[in-house]
Structure 1
Amino acid sequence: MALFGEKKQRTYCHRCGDRVKKLNYRGQILRSKYCGRCFCKKIEDGRTCQWPRVNLVIPWCAEHLRCQAGGIDGGRCDRAVKENNPEKYKFCADTHNCAQSDCVYARLPDRPYCAEHLCSSPGCRDPRRGGPYPFCLKHTCQHLYCTSVVPGDSDPSSPWRFCETHRRCSRNGCSRRCHMRDSGSAANFCGEHYCQWVDGCGEERAAGAEGHWGRHRCKEAGCARGIAAYEGWYCREHECDMMECRYPKLVGDYCHSHTCQRRNCKKEARMDGFCDNHQRCEVPGCKEDRLVEGMKKHDRCDRHRHGSCQAGGIRPCSNRVVEGTHYCEDHLCGFRLCGNAKLFGCSYCEAHKCPVANCQELRQSAGVAYGGRRMTTTMGFQPLVAGYCAQHSCRHGGCDSQAMRDQFFCAVHKCSTHGCMSEGTNSARGGSAACDAHYRGQGSSQGFFSHFQPLPQFAPRPAFPFANDDFQGSFGSPDDFRPVGFDPLLR
């Protein structure tokens, strides 16, 4: 406070040099080092800004007029705030302030509007329609009071300018609402004109088709069903059942490439063109099918798995061999435990055929009715048999000699009486070989056939026991061999 009689010290403007008077700004008495034409209008804590205004027209200093948004390299933006009014705006109009009129918020990165005024459709840079609409004009349904989003990239008159609820059929002249699919999405056409393809086609159905567009209609002649897959050409009934194959079925459930190449087989083919039951034999050069026995599938064909018949001849036999032998059914000896090849024109091998010329019957063995020699065996089922067949063997027990012509016994065991077919006696009679009847002198009175015991029309088929003592019983029943006819009078 100045003393009585002292003059008050005057203050002059630090910018223009004019005398600084008391500043009355909006009813406040302010103290400043600038005059009323040079002071910055930014008031803080009852004091004016320490910097002068930019010019007489803009009543703000350069610091308060500067945009508050960050600039390049972490600094501040050098532009002035919008409308040069730092009391209302904080950001420059060109880069950082929302482009919406009277909006004071900063715009979003790479967008001209703030989050409150930018269209909510992803990627859109346009402002919202205003009011309750969260989207811009082109992304908002054209139906009155509808706020739903639409694609926005179609013509204003297109049905796509409406949402799925209010969309109209895209067919010219049709004003029906679009069909709503089971998934909740709307088709481009009404229920009468939309394509019913399962994956949601947006095209119009073809004329005469069962609800499908021409591209989604089965290409099979006369079929109006839809295709089974988007990249396919045929419906489920006419398309190959192989996964991802789009070719038509041939005869069964597969196309030509996926059907077994074996004639009349309709099963699925593998990489080599044949099904599991018709795979080629793994032997190089063999074109036969692999052997399938029930549910078991072998790697080789029947011939290469069991071997080929080794019978010789002009034409080698390639038939399947009998298990455990080297010959097929046609060339194997008729005796079921023999592994030798049969003789030409005969049913038995040399070891089992009767030694009598032109006789093709099976030899008898010891222990069988009417005699014969015991059969012995070696490894590999190659029996060594002696004796003769039932017609040519001596009926004396244990004898392996051939019976005499028109007789039942050999020369040693037949009755010594001429014409008698009975067996000589086994009793000691001083070396006599006559039968009992002729020994008593009764043979002449009872005729030639007095002691004749005719054989049955079919002799029993002999069974051959092993010589090995470990094997008990015979090799089979009489039915294992074909019947042998016998008539001694016809020899």
Structure 2
Amino acid sequence: MMGCHTKPGCAATCCRGRKDESGPVSSKFCKKHTCDHFYFPIPMKAPRCEFQKDPKDSVCPHHVICTVQGCECPRLQYRDPDNPVFRRYKFCYDHKCALRECPEKRRPDGINQNQFMTYCDNHNCIAEGCHSMVQAGRSCCERHTCGRPGCMAITVNQGRFCRTHNVCEWPDCHQPKTDPHNLCRIHTQCSTAGCTVLKQIGSMHCANHTCFLRGCNNSTGAFRLCTSHRCQFASCNEHRRTAPGALHCPSHSCRSRGCRNGVEEETPYCEAHACEAPGCRLEAKLEWEHKCLDHFKRRYESVGEARLIDEVRELRQVLGERMAVIQDQEECIRRQDAMIRRFGCCN
């Protein structure tokens, strides 16, 4: 009986399949055992592979290794959607483009020998040292694409703009821009006298001299707010009240409605609206003789009581005087009566 290895057909041990003779050159193995490098040698003029492969793989053990020179890692596999077999890319995981559907080799680093970028030449940003993927239809990633709308050129000097658009936008200035501004170093310097720090975006001053009120371009000096928005009370760094014409913060503003005068923090009302009574913290009114309502009432109660006492005293004095007159008149009448009685009896 002839052994299975002597049977005509596929040269693979114990395989009963027929040799693959579908191409211009016949393989000594069947389709399942013929290495892909028999059909497609790499490089193209290399000898055809004559080694047997596993039926579930696409290449023989000799061609499993990554094609990058010096690499001994196995080539990356993927499942063939048309056949129940694993195909292999030309490169291993470290050398194949990181974009899943791309089979190409990663771009060499260009700086470090034997180092590679993350993507291939078609998908890696062209900026030096950048490992990011390019944007669709562009040659750079988003970070290295010019920030001017519509421009797809690469940025320069690690800035936001390309060489064409990396020019200060100050009139007649041709200096390069300073991130994150659209102006050069000279025109982004804080406008406060003696300060050389960069301006805040949208402000004429640096962070230390920019008024906290949005949209204000006044310098704050040594304070948090500028003189137009800071409380006018000495050494106070708080914002003025929002009322029209207010000049002080809530702590230093008179609480009387419509009053713009300043006060000490422990005093609720200014001199014009504070009660004259010692220790009183209530609001006074002009028509209340610069007193609060309580002390105004008390004053008139005491004034009324004093007036009443004076009136009683005056009445008593008048009554006393009248009583004295009446008594004199009564005495005179008694005398007259006595004389009448006396002389009348003599007659």
- Shorter-chain TM-score bucket reads 0.3 to 0.5
Q: Which one has the bigger helix percentage?
A: 2
Which has the larger Rg?
Answer: 1
State the TM-score, normalizing by the size of structure 2: 0.43
State the TM-score, normalizing by the size of structure 1: 0.33
